[in-house]
Amino acid sequence: MTNKYMYFIANWKMYGNTKSLNTLDKVIKFSKSKEINKGRLIYCPPFTLLSSFSKKFQNCLIDIGAQNCHESNDYGPHTGFINSKMLKNVGANYVIIGHSENREKGETDKIINQKIQSAIKAKLKIIFCIGETLKQKKNGKTKSVLRKQIKYGLNKISKKTNLFIAYEPVWSIGTGKIPKMKDLEQTVKFIKSNFKEKKPKILYGGSVNPNNIKYLKTIKELDGFLIGGASQNSKKFIDIVKKTYN
Ligand code: PGA
């Protein structure tokens, strides 16, 4: 059982439409119950739903985040993109940056760094994703990959920034596989050891579900979870939160 203040972040990826709003009623009810007084729920729906999620959560403590932003904080001729000011304007307080699904498409550490800088200017809280691929893990490169992602992703970012680091092993995302608890514990400690001054909050992401949460919650250094697939089902999402505290 944990008494810690934990963050449960729902990453809806490219799922959901206006009908999905009805599925949130259960979570809203749950968020007002005593069971969640030691934690925070944050939804990161696709851009198209940010505004309606924000209205839907008006009278409860559930917060909103976006799944990405453009690297420029200004308005400009960038067809198809959204900047961090625009996200803030529709009610987002958080933004996920550096997700491996975007890194795979060519998002570099440098672009990620620019995105983080722009999000800080817009006063968004950053959920910075890092993680190794299966090949890197097999080659014993996990630590060096994470060190590099942290070093370049956070280049010139003030040490005082309020950061969430989501450790998401790429091989774990959407596969049902999670790391061995011993490995996860060591990796989380390693990530923290990269920060001398203010320690970031550390989240784990990758196939978190109501069954494996009993293992994941035993990692004391974790401050929460970034939840993809399971978060689209309100019952599963609530179960994960409940089981974290039970
Ligand atoms: P998953 O996704 O929970 O579906 O593995 C996590 C993520 O990509 O953030």
Residue 104 falls in the annotated catalytic set: no
User: Domain range spanning residue 14?
Assistant: 6-245
Ligand 1 centre and the CA of 96: distance in Å? Answer: 12
pLDDT digits (tens, 9 = 90+) for 211-230: 999 999 999 999 999 999 99
Q: In ligand 1, which atom is closest to the CA atom of 166? A: 9
What is the per-residue pLDDT for 159?
A: 85
Q: Is 90 exceeded by the pLDDT of residue 202?
A: yes
Residue 100 placed within a domain:
yes
Find all residues with CB under 8 Å of 17, minimum gap 6, and list them.
48, 49
Catalytic choice (71, 99, 107, 132): 99
Ligand 1 centre and the CA of 75: distance in Å? Answer: 30
pLDDT digits (tens, 9 = 90+) for 73-111: 999 999 999 999 999 999 999 999 999 999 999 999 999
Ligand 1 centre and the CA of 45: distance in Å? Answer: 13
Ligand 1 atom 3: residue of nearest CA: 228
What is the per-residue pLDDT for 2?
A: 72
Ligand 1 atom 2: residue of nearest CA: 228
What is the per-residue pLDDT for 1?
A: 55
Residue 49's pLDDT band (boundaries 50, 70, 90)? very high
Residue 58 placed within a domain:
yes
Q: Which residue has the tokens 């307080």?
A: 93
Find all residues with CB under 8 Å of 181, minimum gap 6, and list them.
215, 216, 218, 219
Question: What 3-state DSSP class applies to 66?
Answer: strand
Residue 19 placed within a domain:
yes
Rg (CA), the chain: 17
Residue 213 placed within a domain:
yes
Residue 56 placed within a domain:
yes
Residues with Cβ within 6 A of ligand 1? 11, 168, 173-174, 205-208, 226-229
Residue 1 placed within a domain:
no
State how many domains the chain has: 1
Residue 240 placed within a domain:
yes
Q: Measure the CA–CA gap between 188 and 165, rounded to whole angstroms.
A: 10
Whether 95 contacts 161, CB under 8 Å? no
Q: In ligand 1, which atom is closest to the CA atom of 175? A: 5
Which domain CATH number covers 56? 3.20.20.70
Residue 36 placed within a domain:
yes
Ligand 1 centre and the CA of 205: distance in Å? Answer: 6
pLDDT digits (tens, 9 = 90+) for 140-165: 999 999 999 999 999 999 988 989 99
What is the per-residue pLDDT for 110?
A: 98
